[in-house]
Amino acid sequence: MKKPFVTQEQLQNIAAQYPTPFHLYDERGIRENARRLKAAFSWNPGFREYFAVKATPTPAILKLLREEGCGVDCSSLTELMMSERCGFGGEEIMFSSNDTPPEEFSMAHRLGATINLDDITHIDCLKETLGTLPETVSCRFNPGGVFSIGASKEGFQVMDNPGDAKYGFTRGQLFEGFRRLKELGVKYFGLHSFLASNTLSNEYYPTLAGILFQLAADLKRETGCHIRFINLSGGVGVPYRPEQTANDIFAIGEGVRRQYESILVPAGMGDVAIFTELGRFMLAPYGCLVTRAIHEKHTYKEYIGVDACAADLMRPAMYGAYHHITVMGKEDAPCDHIYDVTGCLCENNDKFAVDRALPRIDMGDLLVIHDTGAHGHAMGYNYNGRLRSAEILLREDGSTELIRRAETPEDYFATVVW
């Protein structure tokens, strides 16, 4: 059973101060999780987590993660600007974009960020934009085909289709690209790849690591390039459903270490730093969307209307994604009602839950929609003129801090030329 990180009494007090809906984040959980990740990879002296800004582009959260030793992975000009304003600079920033406008390469270079190229043609674009290439450049690898790990001991099968993804170099392009970059004066190299999303298997990262470590050894042998780091990117998931088992980050770190020692160390590459680029794993369980039941409808189905909508959390409408729901104060009540929990958009897919078994919901009840700390508020939008909600941080001492106010109609009209 999933339990909120906040009590009913706490939430009632918070909701009395801040109107629902709002996104709430757990400072203690975020910090403890960042420390677990760091400990799991402490065997690698150069390890660093580059938090994927796109998952939760909220300055207060980014600053908190920086205090825990994390860097940031940016994919746009505004994410670079936000990271700079939060105090990140130099090697604390990884810039991983695609179809990149030249001015974004310029901004990344000005900040001293490590640039992670998505395509072989971007080498010449980078040269034309900067004149002289940076000392360190990374490249993103796409092996093509279908990536799959059979049913693991966790009972979860990982499968994705890199061949359909728009990202990355082919293997042949990678070798050609490294040689070209070396000719242009690049001294140090990085390797990056992302093969599957939201995996619930302790085997995914070690399997990916084995692929990248062998590729790195081949690249060094055939091109002579000095590979300084390997970025395992994201893909380590979280259990959105209560019956799912969470990943064991220590088992994952140990699996990567075994691959490192069996492949890279014999290849004379025992100095390679390991980077991660996690978003969902770092933040999703430590954020929730708090909303209030405001309508009930009895037609062909039973509906509960809440004051949040897909403008606050797009994943259920966009992907059909499952997010667990707790009716506060009724955690132990029988789930003997079947509801669709809906928002107010003029779209039939604006539903947080479909045919969900829940306790009886009364008007005014507070509902916690779990695991929205990543790709939650970040994916908000203004369709139907709906305004995005506030973000609030629950501090370790139990106090709260408003870290992003709710949008107002003035914000919505601010860009209009009348």
Tell me the per-residue pLDDT of 356-403, one tens digit each, with 9 for 90 and over.
Answer: 999 999 999 999 999 999 999 999 999 999 999 999 999 999 999 999
pLDDT at 155: 45
Neighbours of 2 (CB within 10 A): 19
CATH assignment of 285-413? 2.40.37.10
Closest CA to 33 of 285, 266, 237, 276: 285
pLDDT at 148: 67
Per-domain residue ranges of the chain: 28-282, 285-413
Superfamily of domain 28-282: Alanine racemase (3.20.20.10)
Tokens encoding 103: 């001015």
pLDDT by residue (tens digit) across 247-256? 999 999 999 9
pLDDT mean by block of 10 residues, the chain; 418 residues? 94 97 98 98 98 98 98 97 98 94 96 96 96 96 74 50 76 96 97 89 94 97 97 95 96 98 98 97 98 98 98 94 97 97 96 98 98 96 95 97 98 96
pLDDT at 10: 97
How far is Cα 123 from Cα 113, in angstroms, rounded to an integer? Answer: 16
pLDDT at 154: 45
How far is Cα 257 from Cα 121, in angstroms, rounded to an integer? Answer: 34
Tokens encoding 56: 């939760």
Neighbours of 244 (CB within 10 A): 16
Q: Which residue has the tokens 């139907």?
A: 384
pLDDT by residue (tens digit) across 64-89? 999 999 999 999 999 999 999 999 99
Q: Which residue has the tokens 């709430």?
A: 24
pLDDT at 144: 77
Closest CA to 229 of 262, 190, 194, 263: 190
Q: Are strands 158-160 and 147-149 parallel, antiparallel or unpaired?
A: antiparallel
pLDDT at 248: 98
* Cβ atoms of 223 and 198 closer than 8 Å: no
Global pTM reads: 0.94
